[in-house]
Amino acid sequence: MDVAVIKYSGEQTGRKVSLNSDVFGIEPNDHAIWLDVKSFLANQRQGTHKSKQRNEITGSSKKIKKQKGTGGARAGNIKNPQFKGGGRIFGPAPRDYSFKLNKKVKDLARKSALTYKAKDNSIAVVEDFNFEKPQTKQYLSMLKSLAVGDKKTLLVLPEANRSVALSGRNIPNTKVVTAAQLNTYDVINADSLILVESSVNKIDSILNKK
């Protein structure tokens, strides 16, 4: 699949770049995408939720009334889960939500997500560029020139670039990542995928390791 290379100002360069069919043209695997997205979201969870059980509540352990003869249900101390301020029954406890996913499944998921974007013509390839300093206005101008100013975008750089990353950091619905950081969730979540020209080969080398 050939995609025209354009400048970040929106001008045509007259060149085209070929997207590897082994990465951008495979038979998509929806289950692999589902697994990878599930894994990504699970890994984002802190798992620090915690509620106190009755043995962790501060309070008297004295029996609050006699066992029989009151006409009501029997009761123990004030830390009883049935009482206000008592411990919680089967409450949440700290846990790790992450789970292992094989590298081949992750690679298949990313290739499938990239293939969907290619089929939808939602990939733009931009000539290598750099900002002299972080400037949000310049980044917004680039998005407008590429006609994606009103869309959720993902910009993929070949290597870390502080000026570009800081320029897009505070813009809603915009994310900047490197080719090594590319993941299935970000690709699926974006309406438009913007690849810097040098990042195309980087993605190929990462996802086509022999």
pLDDT at 210: 53
pLDDT at 128: 92
**Position 178 pLDDT exceeds 80:** yes
Residue pair 5/126 in contact by the 8 Å Cβ criterion: yes
In terms of C-beta distances under 8 Å and separation of at least 24 residues, what long-range contacts does 88-93 make, across chains too?
88/51, 88/52, 88/53, 89/53, 91/50, 91/51, 91/52, 91/53, 92/49, 92/50, 92/51, 93/49, 93/50, 93/51
Instruction: Report the pLDDT averaged over residues 104-123.
Output: 95
The identity of residue 146, as a single letter, is L
pLDDT at 42: 96
In tens, the pLDDT along 8-55 reads 888 888 889 999 999 999 999 999 999 999 999 999 999 999 999 999
pLDDT at 8: 86
Residues of the chain with CATH 3.40.1370.10: 2-46+97-207
- Say how far apart CA 64 and CA 175 lie, in whole Å: 58
Class of domain 2-46+97-207 (CATH, top level): alpha beta
% of the chain with per-residue pLDDT over 90: 84
pLDDT at 209: 73
pTM over the 0.75 mark = yes
**Position 59 pLDDT exceeds 70:** yes
In tens, the pLDDT along 61-95 reads 899 999 999 999 999 999 999 999 999 999 999 99
Instruction: Report the pLDDT averaged over residues 138-155.
Output: 92
Instruction: Report the pLDDT averaged over residues 137-155.
Output: 92
- Say how far apart CA 57 and CA 85 lie, in whole Å: 8
**Position 134 pLDDT exceeds 70:** yes
